[in-house]
Structure 1
Amino acid sequence: MAVEFGLLGEIQAHLDGREMPLGTLRQRAVLAALLTDANQLVSVESIVARVWGEEPPDGVRDTLYGYLSRLRQALTAAPGVDLVRRSGGYVLAVDEQSVDLRRFHDLVDRARSTGDQNEALTLFERALALWRGEAFARLDSPWFNGVRAGLDRQRIEAESDHADLMLLRGRHDELLADLPARAAARPLDERIAGQLMLSLYRRGRPAEALEHYERIRLRLADDLGTDPSPPLQHLYQRILAADPTLAGPQPAPREALSVVPRQLPAPPGLFTARAEELAYLTAAVADGSDTAVGICAIGGSGGIGKTSLVLRWAHTHLDRFTDGQLYADLRGFGPGFGPVSPSTVIRGFLEALGVAPNAIPVDPDTQAALYRSLLAGRRMLIVLDNARDAQQVVPLLPGSPTCTVLVTSRRELAALTATHRARPIALDVLSPDESRELLIGHLGPDRVRAEPAAVSTLVDQCAGLPLALGIVAARAATRPQLPLATLARELRDASARLDALDAGELNVNLRAVFSSSCAALPGAAATVFALLGLVPTDDISLAAVASLIGVPATRAGELLRQLEATYLVHQQAPGRFRMHDLVRLHAAEQATETVDAETREAALRRLVEFYLHTAYAADRLLDPWRPPLTVGCPTPGCAPERMGGVAESMAWFDREHPHLLSAQQVSVTHGWHRQVWQLARTLATFHARRGRKRDQVTVWQAGVAAADSEGDPAVQAMAHRFLGQAIQWLGDIRATVARFQVAIAYAEQAGDLAEKARTCFALGVTWGLEGDHEQSLAHYRLAVGIFRSLGDAVEEARGLNGVGWSLAQLGRYDEARAACEQAVELYRRHEHPDAAADTLHSLGYIDHQTGRHTEALAYYQQARTVYAEVGNTRGEVDCLTSLGELYTSMDRRAEAQQAWQEAVDLLQVQRRTGEAALLRQRMSVLPARQTSRRQDGSSPTTE
């Protein structure tokens, strides 16, 4: 039997993995005061001062002796633990390694004294994993506050020492997962600033490194009236000068993940009971097989505390999962558009593991294989919350026995137990005593003891559900003058209002709880609560809420804070809010019952237009050359966000992409055809740059249906063209050509020559991919003729590049060169860097094929420079591949090897492993001469 004491978080003790009952918060404070000086005499006066401060209440010694007596009784079962009274005080005799605070100090000391960097990294990681939150959480006295502050400093120093070692080992990518947050939390810490600057520089982001230096320089000047320290100034100068010695060592390719995900939500603020279930979890994980993944399936009704149990256990055992933790809400039960598909979850997990979005495979089976490969041999925890059924879970299971999976669901997952040996844990409601203990934790013993009858009613009406108890307690805690009897009466009177809310597993009705909480809200906040029930996604931004309810953002924030204070919404990140799924069900019901249909529809329209207008503004920053849309003015009360540039726009799309897809689905449901196809149109550039091929097909399938319903042939032509290009991404050439033919017919019907030309250009790309370069050339020439007649020089230049490429494939090099040179001349007058780089590459290819190697080299290098400047890694790979072939033709084999190796490195970063393998094979033979081809077999791009 082993006992473990925790001070680096809430005060707790575990015996063989089971949490020991330690009594009230003050009694735990007495234990913490003794454990801090374990095995040493602590005087009674010191204990009193540590726990109660400088002005203890009358009779404090009697209270202390009662706490000590109960602690001695609670610790009786713990081997090797003895609370002994000595002259003048008490000694808590324990094995010091059983106290996490002592283990932390020991691990840090060992890490700093060892000469082995790998061992030091491991020791620091073990030490930092012991922290479950702030030390002595919820304890408030001058002594505890002072010790806590000192421990915080020690933790920060250990984190910084660990970061220095990571930099020495070339693991800057992993540091960038949490260094920005640490720097934001400590804006004057120059050591953290230096580590962040160096990590950013090594990651190829020198501009951001220099920007961070400028921020801390200004902050130091404003707050302290000083300049940055000489070491930080020196680092700044070295980054400015691109000092090659800053590059540091390269990390081993498979020693660690490029990103160590830490996706677990915060642990529950208050937690009671469940000792048996926590112990079972610990034993099940420890008893895992060497050949099978350890899986535990936690079942129970909605609001029973499944997620709280999992998060409590996970945060207590973080040191078991040194390679990270993944978390996904599968949305198996709740309002909205149904459960999340396994492929969507896997895509999110791959991005969390450091896979670039445009490098994620299109095929779901290939995605799953990559996911399992990345987890192979890793000590990772995967939490799959709120699963619909076993079928949703099975594709998300890793293949490595080093991983642990915790699944929660409102259903028994018997199939998961039968086929994957999952350990089932069924959660029941809390007992009346446990429910009362949870209320005491929220409200304090005095208030609960003062109204025993009312507390019994609250316990009965909440039916032992932790979520229900938490909401009721929040109302009482925020209104200390409110008698608990008043709350009890409200629950009795409203006990029949939530009959329709049935999780399907236990006869539990929560309408009384939610209705009584909502009844206490001011009228405006109650309306906001109801309107939030219309939101089809898990979370929502403050700006989106403001448009949903039609008020300024400041007012929306005030109303949301009122909901947050009653646990009806939760701010999961700054400016982002979510509801528990059961609360959201009640909100949706409230919307139907209390808000008229016209108001509900107006709110949803404002929300849809918020996403449409914000996305359109962001898309215009990403691609200002694309023909504009007529989106009109936002509906009154809708306030779209403003974007500050390309980077901010891409970040907004990354963050809001699921909400944009949901906004389109809402528009489909309500028959808002214009918003359906316009939302699809605003996503086209983002989908192309992020490689979201299937999403592009999905939004344009809806877009085509909406355009056809609207009946405007110009819109239909554009929609069918975009759907054809999306299908082309997936390799269905026959369906692509058919779709383009429909688009051309609509364009001719509308008299829209520009749209016809764009479709002809897309057909040129398609036939080129099929190897029919005569067909390709004909369509490119048709597009060029139309664009020229319309005076669209940029599109004409793009078409001329297509003409040149097709002519080159047919061996007509002089004509090809002339066409591409015309394109370059047009680009010089009308900037379009991506397309200009494509044409420079085409010219390099033409000169290579005609033996003009010096000229070809110059063109390839120019094209590569432009691609790099705009972040087009696809083009960089193409240029490097062509450069390797050119160097081979020139018998400059070392340079050919170098160019191809750089291309392989870029392909590896993008997870394009198949293409990288093919290029390695070509490197191994280095033929005397090969035909140059683009890496993807294409020439002109089609976004």
Structure 2
Amino acid sequence: MPFGEGGTGMDLTVAVLGPLDVRRAGRPVRLGPGLASLLSILLVEKSRHVPADRLVELLWGAEAPNGARTTLRSHLSHLRRALDADRSAPSIVATVGSGPRLGYRLDLPPERVDAYEFEQRYAEGRGILAAGDNPEKGAAEIGAALAMWRGPAFADLADRPFALAESARLDALRRSARRDRAEALHSLGRNAEVVGDLLGAVAEAPYDEGLRRLLVLALYADQRVDEAAEICREGLTLLARRGIDDPALRELQRRILRREPIAPPRQAAPALAPVVPRMLPPELRRFVGRDAELAEARTELASGTALLVTGPAGVGKTTFAIRLAHAERDRCPDGQLYVDLRGFDPAGTAMSPSEALRLFLDALQVPANRVPATEVAQVGLYRSLLADRRMLVVLDNARDADQIRPLLPASPGCRVLVTSRNQLTGLIAGQGAHPLALGLLGPAESHRMLATRLGQARIAAEPRAVEEIVAACAGLPLAFAVVAARAATRPTVPLAGLAADLREAGRSLRPFESGDPGTDVRTVFSWSYRALRPAAARLFRLLGLHVAADIGLNAAASLAGLPPAQARQLLDDLVGAHLLTEVAHNRFRCHDLLRAYAAELAGDEPDAVERLVEYYLHTSYAAPLLPPSSRDRFDMPPAGPRVTPDAVPDVPAAVEWFTAEHAALLAVVDLAVAAGLDTHACRLAWTTMPFFDLRGHWQDWVTVQRTGIVAAERAGDDSGQAHGHRSLARAYFYLDRMSDAEPHLHQAMELYRRTGDPVGQANTHRNLCFLHERAGRYRDALDHGRQALALYREAGNEVGVARSLNVVGWYLALLGEHAESLDHCERALTLQEKLGHRNSQAHTWDSLGFNHHRLGDHGRSVHCFRRAVELFQELGDRLGEADSLGRLGDAHSAAGDPGAAVTAWRQALAIADELGHVGVEELREKVARGRPVEDRYLAHDSRLQ
């Protein structure tokens, strides 16, 4: 049963924002400690299948009693009795699998859990604030979300290991919501409310520097100067006990004590510039019939109702939807969004809502580094961008209502068109969608379809054969398309012969029968398949092994072990038989029913699978997104003689290839593991990393790298494991999951030591530098930088030595040891210039500028920062350019040239606004004031590599 569509949970509510509270129809449901723990585990897993052994481990740990599985079954039985109102309906606690794969899943609609509602309302409020036009409404929405809290998340279970991560995540979101609401209220001048909200919040989270600073600003603005100064003093004392300094809070205290004016509150981030996306696929020129359905659909869309187009496989839902969408373009002047959700993909690679959101946000030209990390926040941004716009959103081939709900816009001006084989009753009941069922074509439309494709004269010449073909195809448009394509390619063959072939073909594909005894899609598919020449039939079978709906020419050639020119001829045969569609030059798509049929025919083809995996591995390995130094970390044997990787000449071409193959790459790693190609899987996980890094697909990076680590472990590849753990830590850095990153860095270090890889150890030490810098432990960061430097020298790795000299110099500068820092940075620069490593030179010039600025030599500082800016511009490193421009402005200001300072800050601000840089507000304040404020130098991402 799909999550959220069961009827038994609709009167049940679960509250976890505080002590666990379960109610049915408003009345408490009493659960003992064991049942409360079991329910909480299933809640934390969010409808995922939890194996029984895992439940035993989470409930009792190492102290599991004898007969724990029996006790677990008893707990589950009692929990079902407590939760299920209707014993005749499927249980909310579903049993999944059997034998060693036995497990359980909670089938409770997410909207019945208060944490889900909190995240939704917070995302809505945050989206309103991001739009910048109604901070009062945004603050009210976030306030309503915060009002749902009754205490810490999972308050009575927060010390249990299974609840720790989720309670910490929710509590962090709560603090974030408090900060966002406080900033909005502060901007509105409602400081008394801010104080009332934050006094308790700061007491609960005394080390949250952002909350404390907001409380101080509100107190000061409310003329409560002594209290503001005391909150500053208290915070600085607490942080000092942990060895942490907060320069911003210290500066705030100084200005309060001097009664100086403080800059106005932060303004909401500017709304992203509206774009007009045009994502609709081309319209089928020979569209026949459906006049009544089109008229009904246009009427419903005009009323503002979401339209749900349903019907059996092959009935033409997508063709109908695209025809309808093109007809609606004039009514949707702000653009059209389209996505194929792959809901019934035979490889099981249905698109997640988060992946679809990323596609839409890309189409709306949201920079990757401005896309939020969580799906809830992505939904809020997406809906904010569509607010007050008239757009058409086409969600094609949906699996279930849960896949659709996050993609529904909130704006009444937007029109939504959904297609699915399922009826999606949850979407109809919950969102009021209007269902439009496409039936089979009637006799008149069936004849029109054949006449359009074969010509009226040929149809009129053999009326009895036409009637038999129409009866056999039973009104299924996909069947008519295949039959007509075959008839069109054999103009001299009588239609009576084609009718006889249909009549005599075997029946199968039972899951996709239309219900008419004379109709079976496999009848048409098998007949068309048997008519292919042997080489084309073999290629069609092999396409059933592919893991995505689309395939490129060289991937198909490698799968078949053929030269690309020969493969192209066979692909043309399949396109001509309507078994494939060429969706772009040398790129082909197979309808999911046809892929299912091809998969049934494919059989066991391990050599073909290995060739396919090698194609993806060697193309991604040679692509210029992967630096040469990374390629050297693996022993990569040449591709097999019948594998043809794509030639990817430059970075734009590489980005285009990775984007097109994104879904396939995710699935190919799993395919390699399933085929026992563990070494290939490990290396493929590494070669995908630069693309995920570039495009901000952090969660995909985590998923693939975890699989790569498992593959390396199975292969006994310690080096592959080491690289995998270090790569996974970097992905966690970007997700701001430092506590998750740290153990992987330590595992990587141990493995590098075991394999005797000093460069790997050095790289890991540089990553540990960043970890310690984020925690404010500069002395520890310096120690790791020095260890990295020593190891690079031991290995004779000059590039590493050059980078680490600057790293060591940087941490010396942060510690105020400028003379020694300058010595390291100057030696780094000399070596980097010798090696021609321009990216490292840019960072080192920036470090030199920082040192000279702190030493008071502002003329030299200006020169260094200008050189850094020039190199960053040459390299296309926008983040580095913005950082160095900001500090160039500071240097100009200190040198007594305020005009040049403001110019540099404005240039930095323009880039920071574009990238969503964390320092954008500080730059805005510098431009507004015409003088610098205390800033914090941020480590560049290059240090993570």
Shared topology, TM-score over 0.5? yes
Q: What does residue 589 of structure 1 align with?
A: 600
- How far apart are 1:671 and its partner, in Å? 2.3
Q: What does residue 458 of structure 1 align with?
A: 469
Contact map agreement 1:621 1:646 (CA 8 A) in 2: no
**1:764-843 pair list within 5 angstroms:** 764-843=769-848
Change (3 A) 1:808 1:404: same
- Aligned AA (1:277): E
Distance in 2, matches of 1:789 and 1:529, equals: 54
Q: What does residue 924 of structure 1 align with?
A: 928
Distance in 2, matches of 1:782 and 1:255, equals: 44
Distance in 2, matches of 1:372 and 1:503, equals: 38
Contact map agreement 1:765 1:940 (CA 8 A) in 2: no
Change (3 A) 1:491 1:689: same
Contact map agreement 1:608 1:663 (CA 8 A) in 2: yes
Q: What does residue 565 of structure 2 align with?
A: 554
Contact map agreement 1:676 1:706 (CA 8 A) in 2: yes
- How far apart are 1:891 and its partner, in Å? 4.3
Among 712, 726, 729, the alignment partner of 2:731 is 726
Among 765, 768, 778, the alignment partner of 1:763 is 768
Give the secondary-structure state (helix, strand or coil) at the position aligned to 1:477.
helix
Change (3 A) 1:908 1:389: same
Q: What does residue 265 of structure 1 align with?
A: 281
Among 273, 278, 296, the alignment partner of 2:307 is 296
- Aligned AA (2:541): A
Contact map agreement 1:359 1:691 (CA 8 A) in 2: no
Distance in 2, matches of 1:505 and 1:633, equals: 53
Q: What does residue 936 of structure 2 align with?
A: 933
Contact map agreement 1:787 1:793 (CA 8 A) in 2: yes
Q: TM-score, normalised by structure 2?
A: 0.69
Q: What does residue 661 of structure 1 align with?
A: 666
- Aligned AA (1:447): R
Q: What does residue 36 of structure 1 align with?
A: none
Give the secondary-structure state (helix, strand or coil) at the position aligned to 2:681.
helix
2:645 is equivalent to residue 634 of structure 1: no
Contact map agreement 1:798 1:940 (CA 8 A) in 2: no
Distance in 1, matches of 2:405 and 2:909, equals: 34
- How far apart are 1:780 and its partner, in Å? 0.5
Q: What does residue 869 of structure 1 align with?
A: 874
Q: What does residue 332 of structure 2 align with?
A: 321
Give the secondary-structure state (helix, strand or coil) at the position aligned to 2:944.
coil
Contact map agreement 1:769 1:938 (CA 8 A) in 2: no
Contact map agreement 1:471 1:513 (CA 8 A) in 2: yes
- How far apart are 1:649 and its partner, in Å? 2.7
The worse-fitting range, judged by mean Cα deviation, of 890-899 and 334-343 is 890-899
Change (3 A) 1:538 1:447: same
Q: What does residue 246 of structure 2 align with?
A: none
Among 618, 639, 643, the alignment partner of 2:648 is 643
Task: Provide the alpha-carbon RMSD of the alignment.
Answer: 2.2
2:395 is equivalent to residue 384 of structure 1: yes
- How far apart are 1:360 and its partner, in Å? 2.5
Contact map agreement 2:622 2:648 (CA 8 A) in 1: yes
Give the secondary-structure state (helix, strand or coil) at the position aligned to 1:941.
helix
Q: What does residue 371 of structure 1 align with?
A: 382
Contact map agreement 1:332 1:340 (CA 8 A) in 2: yes
Contact map agreement 2:624 2:648 (CA 8 A) in 1: no
Contact map agreement 2:770 2:939 (CA 8 A) in 1: no
Contact map agreement 2:922 2:933 (CA 8 A) in 1: no
Q: What does residue 750 of structure 2 align with?
A: 745
Among 578, 584, 588, the alignment partner of 2:589 is 578
Give the secondary-structure state (helix, strand or coil) at the position aligned to 1:683.
helix
Structure 2, unmatched stretches of 5+, are 1-269
Change (3 A) 1:797 1:256: closer
Change (3 A) 1:461 1:644: same
Q: What does residue 481 of structure 1 align with?
A: 492
**1:604-623 pair list within 5 angstroms:** 604-619=609-624, 622-623=627-628
Structure 1, unmatched stretches of 5+, are 1-252, 289-293
- Aligned AA (1:942): L
**1:52-201 pair list within 5 angstroms:** none
Q: What does residue 284 of structure 1 align with?
A: 300
Change (3 A) 1:504 1:892: farther
Distance in 2, matches of 1:730 and 1:618, equals: 25
Among 461, 472, 486, the alignment partner of 2:483 is 472
- Aligned AA (2:486): R
Among 920, 941, 944, the alignment partner of 1:942 is 944
The worse-fitting range, judged by mean Cα deviation, of 267-276 and 794-803 is 267-276
Q: What does residue 424 of structure 1 align with?
A: 435
Change (3 A) 1:439 1:670: same
Distance in 2, matches of 1:537 and 1:559, equals: 19
- Aligned AA (1:818): D
**1:837-916 pair list within 5 angstroms:** 837-912=842-917, 915-916=919-920
Give the secondary-structure state (helix, strand or coil) at the position aligned to 1:695.
helix
Contact map agreement 1:358 1:689 (CA 8 A) in 2: no
- Aligned AA (1:640): P
The worse-fitting range, judged by mean Cα deviation, of 397-406 and 467-476 is 397-406
- How far apart are 1:734 and its partner, in Å? 2.2
Contact map agreement 1:619 1:682 (CA 8 A) in 2: no
**1:301-450 pair list within 5 angstroms:** 301-450=312-461
- Aligned AA (1:392): Q
The worse-fitting range, judged by mean Cα deviation, of 889-898 and 848-857 is 889-898
Q: What does residue 78 of structure 1 align with?
A: none
Distance in 1, matches of 2:355 and 2:272, equals: 28
Over residues 4-27 of structure 1, what are the superposed CA-to-partner deviations in whole Å (9 max), with x where a residue is unaligned? xxxxxxxxxxxxxxxxxxxxxxxx
- How far apart are 1:367 and its partner, in Å? 2.0
- Aligned AA (2:274): L
Distance in 2, matches of 1:508 and 1:932, equals: 72
Over residues 144-179 of structure 1, what are the superposed CA-to-partner deviations in whole Å (9 max), with x where a residue is unaligned? xxxxxxxxxxxxxxxxxxxxxxxxxxxxxxxxxxxx
Over residues 743-802 of structure 1, what are the superposed CA-to-partner deviations in whole Å (9 max), with x where a residue is unaligned? 111111111111111111111121111110111000000010110121111101111111
Over residues 540-593 of structure 1, what are the superposed CA-to-partner deviations in whole Å (9 max), with x where a residue is unaligned? 11111111111111111100111101110000111100011111111111213x
Distance in 1, matches of 2:323 and 2:855, equals: 69
Over residues 662-700 of structure 1, what are the superposed CA-to-partner deviations in whole Å (9 max), with x where a residue is unaligned? 221211222211111111211223333333322221221
Distance in 2, matches of 1:683 and 1:283, equals: 46
Distance in 2, matches of 1:917 and 1:436, equals: 66
- Aligned AA (1:783): A
Q: What does residue 236 of structure 1 align with?
A: none
- How far apart are 1:624 and its partner, in Å? 5.0
- How far apart are 1:272 and its partner, in Å? 2.0
Distance in 2, matches of 1:732 and 1:254, equals: 28
The worse-fitting range, judged by mean Cα deviation, of 643-652 and 333-342 is 643-652
Q: What does residue 555 of structure 2 align with?
A: 544
Change (3 A) 1:625 1:735: closer
Task: Report how many aligned residue pairs link the two structures.
Answer: 676
- Aligned AA (1:933): R
- How far apart are 1:643 and its partner, in Å? 2.6
- How far apart are 1:874 and its partner, in Å? 1.2
Distance in 2, matches of 1:341 and 1:940, equals: 30
Contact map agreement 2:799 2:835 (CA 8 A) in 1: yes
- How far apart are 1:937 and its partner, in Å? 5.1
Over residues 277-324 of structure 1, what are the superposed CA-to-partner deviations in whole Å (9 max), with x where a residue is unaligned? 111111112222xxxxx4111111111111111111222232222222
- Aligned AA (2:678): H
Over residues 301-356 of structure 1, what are the superposed CA-to-partner deviations in whole Å (9 max), with x where a residue is unaligned? 11111111111122223222222211100011131133200110111111112223
Change (3 A) 1:398 1:506: farther
Contact map agreement 2:626 2:687 (CA 8 A) in 1: no
Q: TM-score, normalised by structure 1?
A: 0.69
Contact map agreement 2:349 2:667 (CA 8 A) in 1: no
- How far apart are 1:393 and its partner, in Å? 0.6
